Amino acid sequence: MNDDIKPITIRSFQKYKENKEKITMLTAYDYSTAKFIDECQTDSILVGDSVGMTVLGYENTINVTVEDMITFTRAVAKGVKRALVIADLPFLSYHISKEQTTINAGKLIQAGAKAVKLEGASDFILDEVNHLTHSGINVVGHLGFTPQYINTIGGYYIQGKTYENTLNMLKLAKRLEDNGAFSIVLEMVPTESAKYISENLSIPTIGIGAGNYCDGQVLVIDDIIGKFAGSIPKPKFVKQYANIKDVIKNAVTQYNYEVKNNLFPEKENMFNLTEEERDKLYASTK
Ligand code: KIV
């Protein structure tokens, strides 16, 4: 490890909250992207189960497995020196028993994550958060729109739209905090509700579609660089900073053209024999 690099920890998250400094988080699923994101001083990298849509071509996160998450977490962790790597526990990997949850979370930590994220805050899940944190596994909660519950929610709906819903979400968030979660992702929550929740928690909130008062922000890397090829239209909360899809398509179109027309490879892309070796070769086949 380079001595100049001070890795971000869960204590850094807490300090950021206390100092009112925003936390930056992006998803990543592979070595090189994680390395680039880390080199830009991003505070945290989430190996999200959004990998199901961005990399594996699924419609949602439901089909992502623990084995998938281990592979992608390992690749990301290898590319990161500074950012706090968090890995999503996928669908049903933390709902069966405390024992299974601990084994699955442990696999993600052994793959290189420094924390795991799970969705919801039922009594069962709160108990698991408590058990994980007492086992030395850092936990991030996830409230508001929780993608693993897409079939029970019934669609991509904003959560916490009323006073009662907001108070209930705050109650759940506080219970996550009391049970050891060190941060909570709030997804698709009105700005004012997310502000109220953030102001009433000691741990930092990370918003995605939750306005500008959260303690930090997270977005899916494919969305900000314009690489997403899935069928879901770009959500309102996404800001696209680049158009990688066009960059890839232009490069590939040019490559195809040059191969078809024998314009590639060029001299600098080839290995050549010396003239003497070449002459010997042709003389030998005469
Ligand atoms: O999987 C993911 O990318 C996430 C973010 C949307 C927070 O959970």
User: What single DSSP character describes residue 212?
Assistant: S
Q: Is the peptide bond before 265 cis (omega within 30 degrees of 0)?
A: yes
Ligand 1 atom index nearest CA of 49: 1
Does the beta carbon of 45 sit less than 6 angstroms from any atom of ligand 1? Answer: no
pLDDT digits (tens, 9 = 90+) for 123-178: 999 999 999 999 999 999 999 999 999 999 999 999 999 999 999 999 999 999 99
Does the beta carbon of 214 sit less than 6 angstroms from any atom of ligand 1? Answer: no
Nearest CA to ligand 1 atom 1: 48
pTM, rounded to two decimals: 0.96
Percent of the chain with pLDDT over 70: 99
The CB density around residue 100, as the number of other CB atoms within 10 Å, is 15
Q: What are the Cα distances from residue 121, in Å, to 72, 95, 106, 144?
A: 26, 11, 20, 11
> Which are the catalytic amino acids?
187
Does the beta carbon of 185 sit less than 6 angstroms from any atom of ligand 1? Answer: yes
Nearest CA to ligand 1 atom 2: 48
pLDDT digits (tens, 9 = 90+) for 45-98: 999 999 999 999 999 999 999 999 999 999 999 999 999 999 999 999 999 999
Q: 26 pairs with which residues across the strands?
A: 45, 219
Ligand 1 atom index nearest CA of 220: 3
Does the beta carbon of 88 sit less than 6 angstroms from any atom of ligand 1? Answer: yes
Q: What are the Cα distances from residue 163, in Å, to 200, 209, 222?
A: 15, 18, 34
Cα–Cα distance, 90 to 18 (Å, whole number): 31
Predicted pLDDT of residue 11: 98
Instruction: Assess whether pLDDT exceeds 90 at residue 116.
Output: yes
**With b meaning 16 or more CB within 10 Å and e meaning fewer, what string describes 248-285?**
eeeeeeeeeeeeeeeeeeeeeeeeeeeeeeeeeeeeee
Q: Is 242 exposed, middle or buried (0-12, 13-18, 19+ CB in 10 A)?
A: exposed
Ligand 1 atom index nearest CA of 51: 1
Backbone angles phi, psi at 263, to 5 degrees: -95, -15
Domains of the chain and any CATH numbers = 10-242 (3.20.20.60), 247-283 (no CATH)
Residue 271 CA, ligand 1 centroid: distance in Å: 45
Sign of the alpha-carbon torsion through 178, 180, 182, 185: negative
Does the beta carbon of 166 sit less than 6 angstroms from any atom of ligand 1? Answer: no
pLDDT band at 206 (very low <50, low <70, confident <90, very high): very high
**More confident of the two residues 229 and 44:** 44
Q: Judge whether 103 and 137 are in contact, CB under 8 Å.
A: no
Mean pLDDT, residues 9-27 taken together: 98
pLDDT digits (tens, 9 = 90+) for 163-182: 999 999 999 999 999 999 99
